[in-house]
Amino acid sequence: MTQYTLPTLPELRQQIDSIDQQIHQLINQRALCAQQVAEVKKAEDPTIKSFYRPEREAQVLQMVMARQAQFKEQQKLQHRDTLNGETIARLFREIMSVCLALESPLNIAFLGPNGTFTHTAALKHFGHAALTHPITTIDEVFREVEAQSVNYGVVPVENSSEGVVNHTLDCFMASSLKIIGEVELRIHQNLLVADGTQIKNISRIYSHQQSLAQCRKWLDAHFPKVERVAVSSNAEAARMVKNEWHSAAIAGETAAELYGLKMLHANIEDNPNNTTRFLIIGTEETAPSGDDKTSLIVAAHNEAGALYHILEPFYRHGISLTRIETRPAQNDVWSYVFFIDFEGHQQQPHVKAVLDKITGRVRELRILGSYPKAVL
């Protein structure tokens, strides 16, 4: 019986160098293809301003994760582990980001300051080659996109623990912008300190009031006597402790990287499943990706059964609703509008049939956008 002999370390390193060379060549080839895509698009439309296509990028990432799942299953048969789908998709996201920047760098406005979770969501969706711009308020993010000062904007819309972000919904009522994508971000809170800070000397912990509340049990158990100071954002908390030896901040990884802080404890949130959903806003429509959502604003008639008449067509056509919210109408006292998210794209025949049916039953129906479901 032949016994398997492990390769030597020099042999493995030589193999890695050979693989790296192939990866390098293929990335360059991909970049050249991306530039040719830009040339074709310019020839078709000389006025084109953005080469970004949300549906295409979503399809690429979906294929990456499907291939990785298949590869992972094959490795299990050989009792070997490998990278998970999200990890490999993040690598491809950065490759795509760099290739797109060769065509034309994207300018992205987000609810700032730098280092916030919205900043993290922008980088997660567009990659680090995008040019990100922190904006003070959600209203101003909408205005920057409407004025075409940036290509797209990123705003929070709901949190699994705190609920909907009403300010974002209200901005849609006064805007013609479209939703072109979404990002789901697991909110991990971390205890950060500057270099040289010792645990025994920590007398103050800074963070946004929501983050302090989300980490209350952990803080009670580990730092019960330390003062907790609420500030305007987690990123601001990280900035403040940069030059303080006796304090700590609760913030995300992006803030830690931005301000060069050390992560003393990771994932200290009381609810490990806490997730925030962000919307990508732009001016154009998005083509179907094959796995989409659609968002609506519906103003109902003030009559009995109004909500039933809106929802019944969805049930009849087997369309799954993912969210429904109610907000006061801005120009009509004691009237309300409904924000509805559901699975499917407005170009699909069964979705179009539902929208046509609802239109005849309400005062107003506006499609905020059909867009790919969050992949990462």
Confidence of residue 72 (pLDDT cuts 50, 70, 90): confident
- 169 and 196 both lie in a single domain: no
- 94 and 159 both lie in a single domain: no
- CATH number of residue 296's parent domain: 3.30.70.260
- 250 and 326 both lie in a single domain: no
Confidence of residue 76 (pLDDT cuts 50, 70, 90): confident
pLDDT at res. 74: 86
pLDDT at res. 125: 97
Is residue 3 in some structural domain?
no
Domain count, the chain: 4
pLDDT at res. 213: 92
- 290 and 367 both lie in a single domain: yes
**Residue 213 structural domain:** 190-265
Is residue 296 in some structural domain?
yes
Say which range, 119-123, 243-247, 346-350, has the weakest mean pLDDT.
Answer: 243-247
- CATH number of residue 201's parent domain: 3.40.190.10
Is residue 166 in some structural domain?
yes
The Cα-based distances of 275 to 73, 256, 369 in angstroms read: 28, 19, 22
Torsions phi, psi of 338, nearest 5?
A: -110, 135
Is residue 16 in some structural domain?
no
Pick from 220, 248, 280: which residue ends a domain? 280
pLDDT at res. 95: 97
- 122 and 182 both lie in a single domain: yes
Q: What is the mean pLDDT of the chain?
A: 93
- 181 and 112 both lie in a single domain: yes
Q: pLDDT tens, 309-319? A: 999 999 999 99
Is residue 338 in some structural domain?
yes
Pick from 102, 133, 168: which residue ends a domain? 102
Pick from 280, 314, 334: which residue ends a domain? 280
Enter the pTM of the model. 0.91
- 71 and 93 both lie in a single domain: yes
Is residue 200 in some structural domain?
yes
Is residue 348 in some structural domain?
yes
Q: pLDDT tens, 258-281? A: 999 999 999 999 999 999 999 999
Is residue 2 in some structural domain?
no
Q: pLDDT tens, 185-210? A: 999 999 999 998 989 999 999 999 98
pLDDT at res. 177: 98
